[in-house]
Amino acid sequence: MKITHFSKSIRQLSTHLLAIIIGVLLSVNTLLVLPSQAESAPISVDSQSIAQKPSSAAAIGSSSFVTAAVNKVGKAVVRIDTERQVSRRIPEAFTEDPFFRRFFGDSLPRNLPPEELRGLGSGFIIDKSGLVLTNAHVVDKADKVTVSLKDGRKFEGKVQGADEVTDLAVVKINAPNDLPVATLGSSSNVQVGDWAIAVGNPLGFDNTVTLGIVSTLKRPSAQVGISSKRLEFIQTDAAINPGNSGGPLLNDRGEVIGINTAIRADAMGIGFAIPIDKAKQITSELERNGRVAHPFIGIGMDDLTPDKARQINANPNSPIQVPEVTGILIGRVIPDSPAATAGIRIGDVIVAIDGKPISKGEELLNIVENSGVGQNLQLKVRRGNRTQQISLRTADMKDFS
């Protein structure tokens, strides 16, 4: 009986030992297999190729150009908080309703307490006198503007000038002359593929830095979906989110090449920035006059090609027949505008301005914008089978807003 019990114990012990041994072997085998699975397949390359193509890890090291650029400009980047009160009225459907009037009598209020709206954006100091550059939509209709520096200081800001057409604004703060100032570069030297560093306060997360490259230059505002603006953006894949608006876009030397603007909520992995060269022009005018005068001729337009013209003419429901040429098709003429005064009609096609052939709406906008207010433009227009010269004088856009 004792021998049987002893034999059974030996078998159990052997089983446990065998299980432990198998487990150890499996663990060792797993440790040996996992690293090899993580490694990529061997690729044959020569040492010269490797030397000519440094890895991104070498380009962005512990003391990278990104760190140097942010250290150079970071203190000049500010947070902008805005407040404004919006008055609210009770709809007349309630105030005139007999039931409510019987219940409340003459004490029924017509106005509700004002609603307080808060906004958040970014900006950067461009002058030791306290000038801050930001987006116009950041400070739009603000009753109170608070500018916070990275070192914790806060100042009340005054909007010195804003321009909705280019989405730029200048805010003035009264502060000591020890203010940090951002170094302004040149956007005319920027090339596709250059590094792009966005600095700001996206979604309320202060002092945030994102890195990408310049993916496209001169992206027309109409293509971005904001035809009311007159801009050609720097497009980048550096993350730009709400709250980044007004902050600087830097190059690899820490110079400001653009002003970030979060204008497309659906722009996944794409951001846009206003070129700094354009901002320099606008800023000086905002400082002097508080506003910017933009030339205006008063038309709605669409690009026209011979193929598109044939499609329009073949449509039995088309209200017009258009010349089968390349140019700018007039789809709308604003009453009393320079175009209306000059005799431009719906269905006309502008084929040249001041002797220069034209085929894109962006080209026409740039010519008009650069012409100045009160300047004469000579338009070559196709109307039906006839070609004629029409002269018009640009007006100030604010007179037709």
Q: What does residue 25 show for φ and ψ, rounded to 5 degrees? A: -60, -40
Check if 137 is active-site.
Answer: yes
Instruction: State yes or no: is 167 an active-site residue.
Output: yes
Which of 137, 187, 294, 337 is labelled catalytic? 137
Pick the catalytic residue: 81, 122, 163, 167?
167
CA distance 296 to 400: 8
Strands 386-393 and 154-163, sheet pairing? unpaired
Q: Residue 130 region, left (φ>0) first, then alpha (ψ -120 to 50), else beta?
A: left
Neighbouring residues of 262: CB distance < 8 A, sequence distance ≥ 6? 202, 240, 241, 242, 243, 244, 245, 271
Locate 378 and state its tokens.
Answer: 């000579």
Q: Is 294 a catalytic residue?
A: no
Q: Of the listed 245, 294, 337, 348, which one is catalytic?
A: 245
What is the Cα–Cα distance from 293 to 362, expressed in whole angstroms? 19
Q: From CA 392, how far away is CA 399, in angstroms rounded?
A: 16
Please tell me what DSSP assigns to residue 325. S
CB-CB contact of 135 with 261 (8 Å): yes
Which residue numbers are catalytic?
137, 167, 245
